[in-house]
Structure 1
Amino acid sequence: MTRRKGERPVLRYLDRWSADHPVARSIAAGTNWFNAWIAQKATPFPRLAQRTGIPTARLMAIDQGDVIARSELEALSRAWSVSVNDLIASMPTADMVVE
């Protein structure tokens, strides 16, 4: 992020999961949890791979419903400014997370 000398950085608040969150509405309409977050945060796979360190091929596997490691969730939560627990809450089942 580039900023001018003396300028304060932009505050980034955590996005909070709830039943009326736009991602929840998208999931209710039939979108899978990962695609719903990608659409909400407007992050294409190449940019998300760069921000998280997760290879694009792995992101595609997660998109197709593969299990996800806790470390991958932590990287995604930092990239999207959302807590790991909120990401897990948006998944169809918490069993998708492997340690």
Structure 2
Amino acid sequence: MGEQDRGFHAERIQVSYWDVMGNETVRNFAANLPEDEIPETIDSPTTGLPAGRDKENPPSVAKLEPYKTHLAYVKERRSEEEAAQLLEEALVQLRARRGTLTK
């Protein structure tokens, strides 16, 4: 069992990341990976906050974006007039399919 069954295991290095709450996350990377390809920050799987490689100075949250619903994103893209026009077009198509189109 081992390498014969599962193949050769590449050399790896472990890199630790810390978030503001003090949680440590360890990621494994290939040992021959250049240093500039190893990310400086990741998203902590525990808290969702950014985590950095410096334990004493973890990255802080740049800006908290409030949760937006799908409707909020739609309202950013459409004016009230456009929304009314799209709704009317959709209702006309629906009524035409159902055979209840009134003029």
Q: TM-score range by the shorter chain?
A: under 0.3
**Which is greater in Rg?**
2
The alignment's TM-score, normalised by the length of structure 2, stands at 0.19
Task: With a CA cutoff of 8 Å and minimum separation of 6, indicate the structure with the bigger relative contact order.
Answer: 1
Task: Indicate the structure with greater strand content.
Answer: 2
Task: Indicate the structure with greater helix content.
Answer: 1
